[in-house]
Each structure stands twice: as C-alpha cells, then as structure tokens.
Amino acid sequence: MAQAGQRKCRGCGQYFDPDRRVGSRQRYCSASPCRLVSKAQSHKRWRSKPENLNYFRGPVHVARVQAWRAAHPGYARRERPAPPLQDQCASQGVDCKDESGIRPVEAAAPLQDLLSASSPVLAGLIAHLFQITLQDEMAATARRLVQLGIDVLRGTSGGEGQASAIAAAAAARADPVQLG
C-alpha cells in the first residue's frame, strides 16, 4: 500500500519515494534494472520524434562527427589508468623507546592484536617455520619477529642476537631426532 507521496515504479511495480528534485516527473525507482528500463524508454521516445529520426545519418551529421573528432584527437584511444592491484599503505614509524631511551618491557598483546584477521598467511608462515600451533607461542614468536624487524629497520645493533635467540627458541621446540 502506498504511503503519502509515494509512486508506483513502472519497471518493478514497487512503491518508492520520488526524488524531491525531480518531483512528479520520476516514474521509475532507483533499482538498477528499473534504471535500465527507464533509459531504454527514454531513448525510444527520443528516437521516435520526427526531428530525431535521421539524427545519426546523412552527410551533414558525418561532417559534424568528423569535425568533433578532429577537435578532440585521441579521445576514444586515450589510456585510462589501471586500478591499483592493492591499496597503498602509508609507512608508519614505530618508536619503542621512552624519553629515557630505555626500551620498555612489552605487554603481552594477544595474537589477534598482533596479527590481523586478514593475514592468515603470516600466521601460517610462523606456524610452519617455527613448527608451533599454540596461540600463545605464536604470539610470543610474532612479537619477537616484530621487534627484530623494528631493530633491522632502525639499524640498531643487537639484531643479530635477537635473530639467533629466535633461531635457538625454534630449535628448542623442534622434535628430537633419533639416529640409528
């Protein structure tokens, strides 16, 4: 049932609120199929007028189109920029030291905070390389890797010690191998 001010769409038959700027002239709702029907009907009405029957035919119109193309060279062949394959991320500096220059003790952030839900590849890579599946161990390893990355990017000495500490921690978790 239509409420006050609503119209029935000529395309889908549903009631809709017409755009206030169009007023009583709007006959179709804003749904995509209805807009296509509206465009086709509008085109059909325009083409049926006697003055528009030969609008795209004849030497006068051929000359008109040729003049426009001469005034706008390369319009149809201009290259449009390709959409980016992924969004660009702005680099963000991380400062892990306070005013005294001492690196604070890291709070135990949960894995969900450290690894976003959109990076299962990173979680899988950590699990594969370090052969761990427990969430707490993955969080600790990820925090060490983040700190190592920060140290490497800053050029801080001691990165080698942390790298060897991570390798030693991974080796300690590895299953023992029995020979013979």
Per-residue model confidence as pLDDT tens digits over 137-153: 877 888 888 888 888 88
Interacting residues of 104 by C-beta distance below 8 A, sequence separation 6+: 96, 97, 98
Q: pLDDT tier at 117 (50, 70, 90 boundaries)?
A: very low
Total Cβ atoms within 10 A of residue 34: 19
The rounded percent of the chain whose pLDDT value lies above 70 is 66
87-114 tens-digit pLDDT: 666 555 555 555 555 555 444 455 555 5
Q: Which pLDDT does position 126 carry in this prediction?
A: 79
Q: Which pLDDT does position 94 carry in this prediction?
A: 54
As given in the structure block, the two tokens for residue 174 are: 């590895």
Cα-trace Rg, the chain: 33
The half-sphere exposure of 52 on its side-chain side, counting CA atoms within 13 A, is 8
Rounded CA gap, 112 and 118, in Å?
Answer: 10
In the chain, where the domains are located: 7-71, 111-173
What are the two backbone dihedrals, phi and then psi, of residue 15, each rounded to the nearest 5 degrees? -85, 140
37-56 tens-digit pLDDT: 999 999 999 999 998 888 77
Q: pLDDT tier at 61 (50, 70, 90 boundaries)?
A: confident
